[in-house]
Each structure stands twice: as C-alpha cells, then as structure tokens.
C-alpha cells in the first residue's frame, strides 16, 4: 500500500488509483479494474509478450520516451508519474485502424489473435521510434524488436511483412504534447510512499533519500525493474513485504563516460546499459540483442541483474571479463569491489545491512581481444546454459593478460583461474588453447539440470575457447560473416 494515490496518464487523462497492493500488476489492473481487456495474459512471466504495453516517461529534453514493457510483471505503483499506452489507444477516435493494425490485417498477420495485441504494441513502439527519427527498420531490426513476442499459429513471415508495410501508409504519429504536459505536472507531486509505518511501498527520488531510507529499513525489499522479483509473486505467490523502489532515483539511472571508465547507474535499464557497452565494444551487440527481450530490457536493470547474482545471468560474465568494479553505498559512505569478489556463494554477496548497489564502473576499451558467447536452447529471449566472456591481451603474439569469465559452470559467475594461468606468457597458438581447455576441468565441476548436463557444459566451454582461438588467431582468423548472425543477415 502507498500513502497517496498512484497517479499516471492513461486513455487521455490522469488516473488515480488508491488501495491497490504494491504488487498488483499493471495487467491485473487493466483487465480487472480498468476493464481494458485488449492486453492478454499468456505466461505471467514476461516471456510470451501477449501483455505488451508501452510506458512513456519524460526524456529530459521536453519530450516523452516510449518503451514496450510486459504488463504481467510490472507492478502498478511503478507507473506513478508515467504514461501507460495499451492496444485500446492505437486506433483513431473514429475507429479507423492505425497503420500498424491495418498492415497486420492486410498481411494476414493474425490467426487466433491472442498474441496480436502484444505484437501491435511492440510494432507501435517501433513505428513511433522510427517515425521520430525519420528512418525505417530493416527486416532483421523488426525481428529483433519482436523477439519478446511469441506467435504459435500465424508465423512470423506475415507479421514481419506487416512491420515493413506499416511505413508505406500515410504517417500517423501519436500526439505526445498533452502527455508531456501531464507528466510534468505529475512530477511536481510528492514521491509515492512515505516514512510512515502504514506505507509498504516507498519511491524515493534522490540518492540521499534512498540512502537514508535504506539505513532506516535495511530489511525492505529493493525493487528496480522487477523482471525477476515479479515472478516471485506471479509464479511462487510470495509476499515481498516492504518495498523500496529504485526506478525514480535519477542518479541511479545515469550512464556517464569519462576518459577512464563507463559508469552505469544501478537503475539504468538493461537496454541503455547494453547500448553503452556495445558502443564501446561492438562485439557485444549479439549478447545485447539476445539478452532477454526488448520489453524485459526496457524494464530490467543491469544493476539488478548483477545484484541478483544468478550464476546464469549474462551481464556478470561480461562485466567481470571487462574488469568492472561494483560500487556500493551505505548512508554517505561508498566502497567498491572487483565484481568477481562481490559474490560469496549461490545468490549470496557482500552487501551489508543498509547497503545498496550504486553503480558499475567499467574500464574503457583497451587493447584486449574480447569475445562473448551465449549458449541456450532457444536463440532469442532464453536463459543461458553457458555464457563465456573471454578477454585476452596479446602482445607480439604472446598472451600478456587473460580474463576468462563463465556463467552456468558454477554456483556463481566465476573466472577460470587455472585456464588463465596456463595462457599468460604463452604464444596464442593451438598448444596454448589445448592447455587452457584441459585446465577448465580444474576450474569447474558443473552441475546437471534441466538446461544442460555437466558433461555438455564442460565440453561446450572447451569448444568456446577453441572458437575464440579460431576467431582471434594471428593467421586464418574467421571473418565476421562466419561467426555472427547479424553480420550474415545484414551483409550486402
């Protein structure tokens, strides 16, 4: 519960919601309270995309930034001060279809129709973004935008046809001026929640407010994007208790780059964080686009992914390979650790009572060779069985430094110390590769689970080392078109 009404822009006006539990989802409110039943529930875990909606926020430049998110794992109070767009908003007031909808009709992009509202909203967000930028997406870019929307009966070919055809009609942009005006007015209201004992949801807006609140309530649940914590509610029926929401703290959403490092605030979205990293290391583009889906990446945070500490989270191996440090804050005191030293065991870390993750600091790109590989059963929007992030510094043919970070091989994301040791000082040749492959068996004794067996994981890890060597060896290195899906699909 909150101490005041939850206020957000919806269907052309500011809506006020009182008495809603802090963990009531946006989808529940839409279907059961607002009677907007266009958005569907398929999986209740942010996987199928049938519930996709678009959230708008002030972008700091006088406009409104739009992002697709999963309504089934978005808690209603996190909409406070924002705008919510659903499939009911897309058609014109006179009932005429939006170019997105008309293109789906013309291309026969719907059969049973259950998934269609989610596709409409993902395509609408894509349409608005590209119309604003004066560009048109490639077919592959459309496929990437739809990676979080599943269709079991229509198939993607007609849906992608519709995505291309929607730009052929006369443009019809949404008027965001009244939305921006409403959001500016909402920004002047007091933060949601409060210090009173009656409040179970707090949404501080400054770093100092958050630090004080965390010290006063060290047992409260920290909530960022909620793309993992929401499943504890929707799937495990757990009570989260008192919640401190991080998404309204501007300092935590900041991404800054200086001569030495990229600093990613703990509440910066996965989409923004991966974009910043991929701008510095283009080789990260594939793991960025394969990390969950656009609706999850626009809601979830890299700080949350790292703090959660899952051994199969894909951000930690990449950040550890890059030599990142995690910055923690307790009250006014900050401290930093090498990220690999943050984890103490399965889902355990070195956070102290009253402390929270403030930022991730990643050294700027140097001379190291970087390769990242994600192995999963499904190519898009799937959890890794093995994730390898491999950084090698090679000077005059010899390896002078190695950081080999692995997810999925141990109870925590972990560096391969033995494999690194046998590589440093040796020529980057096949003999060094074979020695490193053998050393991996000393570094890891993987477990078998539903995603992969222990033997498969170790073999795959050894094979990924060979792939890295094939791509980075001095002679006969594989070209990009032999190793990258996007290099092949976008090649002229």
- The helix or strand, by DSSP H or E, that contains position 335, with its residue range, turns out to be strand 333-338
Q: Is the pLDDT of residue 491 over 60?
A: no
Q: Where are the alpha helices (DSSP H) in 218-269?
A: 229-234
| 99-165 belongs to CATH 1.10.150.120 | yes
Query: Measured between alpha carbons, how far is 21 from 199 in angstroms, rounded to an integer?
Result: 11
Asked if 186 contacts 81 with a C-beta cutoff of 8 angstroms, the reply is yes
Strand partners, 25: 75
Please give the Cα distance from 243 to 18 (Å, whole number): 17
Average pLDDT (398-417) is: 97
Whether residue 387 contacts residue 317, with contact meaning beta carbons closer than 8 Å, is answered with yes
H-state helical runs in 322-416: none
Residue 490, pLDDT score: 60
User: How crowded is the C-beta side of 110, counted as CA atoms within 13 Å?
Assistant: 18
- Segment 164-176 shows an average pLDDT of 95
pLDDT by residue (tens digit) across 414-458? 999 999 999 999 999 999 999 999 999 999 999 898 889 999 999
Once rounded to an integer, what is the mean pLDDT over residues 206-225?
96
Does the pLDDT of residue 1 top 90, yes or no? no
Higher pLDDT, 484 or 308: 308
Distance CA 270, CA 266 (A): 10
pLDDT for position 492: 45
Sheet of 325-330: strands edge to edge? 255-257, 261-265, 355-363, 325-330, 333-338
Pick the CATH number of 250-363 from 3.40.50.300, 3.40.720.10, 3.30.465.10, 3.40.50.1820: 3.30.465.10
With beta carbons less than 8 A apart as the criterion, state whether 32 and 82 touch: no
**Residues constituting the chain:** 492
Contacts of 274 (CB under 8 A, 6+ apart): 284, 287, 288, 291, 297, 302
What does the alpha-carbon distance between residue 19 and residue 317 come to, in Å, rounded to a whole number? 42
For 393, 474, 487, 488, the CA distances from 482, given in Å and listed in that order, are 23, 17, 8, 8
Provide the percentage of residues in the chain whose pLDDT is more than 90: 91
Q: How far apart are CA 27 and CA 114, in angstroms?
A: 15
Distance of CA 402 to the CA centre of its chain: 27
Q: Is 14 exposed, middle or buried (0-12, 13-18, 19+ CB in 10 A)?
A: middle
* pLDDT interval class at 172 (50, 70, 90): very high
CATH 3.30.390.50 holds for 369-482: yes
**Using an 8 Å Cβ cutoff, are 252 and 356 in contact?**
no
Q: How much is the mean pLDDT over the chain? A: 94
User: Over 90: is that where the pLDDT of 226 sits?
Assistant: yes
Give the contacts of 454 (CB within 8 A, at least 6 positions apart). Answer: 445, 446, 447, 448
For the entire predicted model, the pTM comes to: 0.95
Domain with CATH 3.30.465.10 in the chain: 250-363
Give ranges for CATH 3.30.390.50 in the chain: 369-482
Tell me what percent of the chain is helix, strand and coil, each rounded to the nearest 5.
35, 20, 40
Task: Count, in order, helices (H) and strands (E) of the chain.
Answer: 17, 19
Question: How much is the average pLDDT of 304-320?
Answer: 95
Residues 233-289: tens digit of each pLDDT: 999 999 999 999 999 999 999 999 999 999 999 999 999 999 999 999 999 999 999
**pLDDT value at residue 4:** 86
- pLDDT, position 486: 63
At 194 the pLDDT is 58
Tell me the pairing of strands 255-257 and 243-245. Answer: unpaired
Instruction: Locate 201 and state its tokens.
Output: 């949801």
Sequence ranges of the chain with CATH classification 1.10.150.120: 99-165
| The CATH classification of domain 6-89+176-245, taken from the options 3.10.20.30, 3.90.1580.10, 3.20.20.140, 3.30.1360.30 | 3.10.20.30
Band the pLDDT of 488: cuts 50, 70, 90: low
Residue 345 has pLDDT above 80, yes or no: yes
DSSP E strands, 339-440: 343-345, 348-349, 355-363, 369-375, 386-395, 398-407, 414-415
Mean pLDDT of 152-170: 96
For residue 127, is pLDDT > 50? yes
Name the segment(s) of the chain with CATH classification 3.10.20.30. Answer: 6-89+176-245
Distance between CA atoms of residues 38 and 357, nearest Å: 38
């Amino acid at each position: 519960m909150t101490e005041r009404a939850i206020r957000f822009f919806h269907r052309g006006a500011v809506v006020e919601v009182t008495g809603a539990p802090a963990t009531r989802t946006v989808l529940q409110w839409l279907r059961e309270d607002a009677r907007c039943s266009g958005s569907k529930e398929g999986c209740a875990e942010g996987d199928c995309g049938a519930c996709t909606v678009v959230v708008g926020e002030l972008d700091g430049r006088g406009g409104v930034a739009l992002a697709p998110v999963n309504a089934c794992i978005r808690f209603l109070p996190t909409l406070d001060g924002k705008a919510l767009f659903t499939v009911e908003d897309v058609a014109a007031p006179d009932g005429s279809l939006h170019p997105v909808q008309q293109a789906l009709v013309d291309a026969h992009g719907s059969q049973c129709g259950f998934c269609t509202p989610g596709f409409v909203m993902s395509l609408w967000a894509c349409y608005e973004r590209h119309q604003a930028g004066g560009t048109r997406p490639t077919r592959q870019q459309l496929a990437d935008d739809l990676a979080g929307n599943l269709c079991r009966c229509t198939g993607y070919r007609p849906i992608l046809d519709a995505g291309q055809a929607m730009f052929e009609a006369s443009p019809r942009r949404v008027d965001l001026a009244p939305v921006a005006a409403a959001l500016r007015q909402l920004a002047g209201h007091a933060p949601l929640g409060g210090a009173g004992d009656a409040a179970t949801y707090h949404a501080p807006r400054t770093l100092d407010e958050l630090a004080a609140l965390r010290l006063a309530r060290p047992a409260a649940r920290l909530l960022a994007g909620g793309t993992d914590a929401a499943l504890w509610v929707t799937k495990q029926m757990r009570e989260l208790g008192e919640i401190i929401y991080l998404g309204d703290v501007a300092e935590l959403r900041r991404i800054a780059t200086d001569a030495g490092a990229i600093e990613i605030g703990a509440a910066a979205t996965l989409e923004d964080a991966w974009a910043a990293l991929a701008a510095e290391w283009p080789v990260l583009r594939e793991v960025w686009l394969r990390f969950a889906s656009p609706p999850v990446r626009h809601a979830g945070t890299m700080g949350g992914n790292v703090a959660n500490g899952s051994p199969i989270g894909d951000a930690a191996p990449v950040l550890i390979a890059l030599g990142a440090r995690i910055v923690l804050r307790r009250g006014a005191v900050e401290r930093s650790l090498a990220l690999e030293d943050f984890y103490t065991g399965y889902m355990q870390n070195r956070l102290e009572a009253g402390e929270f993750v403030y930022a991730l600091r990643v050294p700027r790109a140097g001379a190291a060779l970087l390769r990242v590989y994600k192995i999963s059963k499904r190519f898009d929007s799937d959890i890794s069985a093995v994730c390898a992030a491999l950084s090698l510094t090679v000077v005059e043919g010899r390896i002078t430094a190695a950081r080999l970070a692995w997810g999925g091989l141990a109870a925590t994301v972990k560096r391969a110390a033995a494999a690194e040791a046998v590589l440093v000082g040796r020529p980057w040749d096949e003999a060094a590769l074979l020695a490193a492959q053998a050393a991996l068996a000393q570094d890891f004794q993987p477990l078998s689970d539903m995603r992969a067996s222990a033997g498969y994981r170790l073999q795959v890890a050894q094979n990924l080392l060979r792939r890295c060597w094939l791509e980075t060896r001095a002679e006969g290195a594989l070209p990009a078109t032999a190793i990258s899906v996007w290099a092949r699909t976008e090649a002229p």
